[in-house]
Amino acid sequence: MSMPFNNRNNNHGSSNILFRLFSFCFIYLFHFRGSLTLLHEWLHWTFKEKKPKAGKILEELKHRIDRPLAAILTLNTSAHTFGAAGVGAKVVEIFGDHTLAFASIVLTLTMLIATEMIPKTFGALYWKKLAPVSAYCIQFLIWVTYPFVVSFEYIAKLLARGKTHDKITEEEIKLILEEGSQAGVIREAEHDMVESIFRLGNRRVGILMIPRMDIEWLDLNHHTEELLKQINISPHNRFPVCDGELDKVIGLVTTKDVLNEILKTGKFDLKTLVKAPLFVPENMRVVQLLDLFKKTPDHIALVTDEYGGVQGLITLHDVLESIVGDVPSTSILPETQIIQRKDGSWLVDGMLPIDELKEQFDFDSLPEEEKGTYRTLGGFCMRQIGSIPNIGDTFTWQKFRFRVVKMNGRRVEKVLIHYLS
């Protein structure tokens, strides 16, 4: 007569064990699967000042990433294996063999949602709150599973012999910026500036310089009245001073120095006012030019080719514009280089640098760009056409049609670009 009562007790006890097994696996996996999401390359920097202890632990975990991974994956595998076996055995004991398949499906789906998707989502959304606590928990977990951690380290060293740890890459930083911009944490203007700084690292001086034909210079052989008239109507306040031609540069002079000399003596002599110019090669990196500008008060340089001829002029203002966009001076308003028209085409300035052209139209590369034979859209058009273009000349490149619509002498000034659907 006592058998039904004993069976009920046994079933009740088995149910308790089943519940405890499942709860243990769930709680353990929930916490440590979420912890995997927190092991970012850059995370420790966030806590170095506000929570230095947690930040230090996270930094150690980041530098020896194989240890936390070994600890978490060891217990993760153990919990999955023993949890599934234990829960399966208890299900069969309580409900019978015929329920095992159904119980396995339910257990798998529950584990997938409750111990994979939810904890990793929590880790991604609430990493600031979870990271300090998880740092201490992972450190304790490493101590508990130390024999497995050491074994994993040894195997990892054998497999990765001679390979150095990869640092965070530029692409990863760009991805973080993109995510921050989409989330509204980083403003669009800030995002664009950081992108421009990364682009600046690969740019050469020749891309940003004012071309030779646009340089305004003062000729020593001109009369004083002519020079004063030229200085007065010019929007610039600094000029190269040359002896008859641009390649014979004597130095640089500012309108302020000329005015001061006139106020003092009533006349001026350019030869006595010029300062030694800064010459840089056209293939110099822009970041190197910035270092030079830091060492000189005159933030202007003349750009030369391999033969010593002057090819252009570049100022700190030009470099600044490449980072923050067009910055109008007191007298010159910037012209937008890319204008999208109502029909879907683009009217593009011929002086648009090729790296910006590639970014705007998603080109991976352009023909022979690595040879440095051209730096702008105008140069690209000349290369594709094979000669100095005429207005109306057209060519096609990667589903885009390019048509020269305006010339300035021998220079391509405007190009109309159509997407060929």
User: Could you tell me the CATH number of the domain that includes residue 213?
Assistant: 3.10.580.10
Mean pLDDT of 73-89: 70
Residue 165 within a domain: no
- pLDDT per residue as tens digits for the range 317-362: 888 888 877 666 555 545 678 888 888 899 999 988 888 898 888 8
Looking at the structure, tell me whether residues 127 and 190 fall in a common domain. no
Residue 333 within a domain: no
Contact 299, 237 (CB under 8 A): no
Looking at the structure, tell me whether residues 357 and 391 fall in a common domain. yes
The model's pTM: 0.59
Looking at the structure, tell me whether residues 258 and 240 fall in a common domain. yes
Residue 45 within a domain: yes
Residue 150 within a domain: yes
Residue 329 within a domain: no
d(CA 76, CA 26): 11
What is the band of 105 on the pLDDT scale with cuts at 50, 70, 90? confident
3-state secondary structure of 339: strand
Looking at the structure, tell me whether residues 318 and 346 fall in a common domain. no
- pLDDT per residue as tens digits for the range 148-186: 778 877 777 777 665 555 566 777 777 878 877 787 778
Looking at the structure, tell me whether residues 23 and 98 fall in a common domain. yes
Residue 330 within a domain: no
Q: Where are the beta strands (DSSP E) in 372-421?
A: 394-397, 400-408, 411-419
Q: How many domains does the chain have?
A: 4
Looking at the structure, tell me whether residues 96 and 38 fall in a common domain. yes
Looking at the structure, tell me whether residues 45 and 123 fall in a common domain. yes
What is the band of 4 on the pLDDT scale with cuts at 50, 70, 90? very low
Lowest mean pLDDT among 58-72, 111-125, 258-272: 111-125
Looking at the structure, tell me whether residues 80 and 94 fall in a common domain. yes
Looking at the structure, tell me whether residues 13 and 102 fall in a common domain. yes
* Rg of the chain, C-alpha, whole Å: 34
Residues 6+ apart with CB under 8 A from 320: 327
- pLDDT per residue as tens digits for the range 382-396: 999 999 999 999 999
Residue 332 within a domain: no
Q: DSSP letters of 16-63? A: HHHHHHHHHHHHHHHHHHHHHTT--SSHHHHHTTTSHHHHHHHHHHHH
Residue 136 within a domain: yes
d(CA 14, CA 93): 8
Looking at the structure, tell me whether residues 278 and 295 fall in a common domain. yes
Contact 52, 95 (CB under 8 A): no
Mean pLDDT of 98-120: 72
Looking at the structure, tell me whether residues 239 and 354 fall in a common domain. no
Q: Is pLDDT of 284 > 80?
A: yes
Measuring CA to CA, which residue among 207, 206, 211 is closest to residue 408? 211
CATH code, domain with 415: 3.30.465.10
Domain enclosing residue 209, as ranges: 205-324
Looking at the structure, tell me whether residues 93 and 8 fall in a common domain. yes
Chosen domain end from 324, 353, 378 = 324
Summary mean pLDDT of the chain: 78
User: For 333, what's the count of Cα atoms within 13 Å in the CB-facing half-sphere?
Assistant: 2
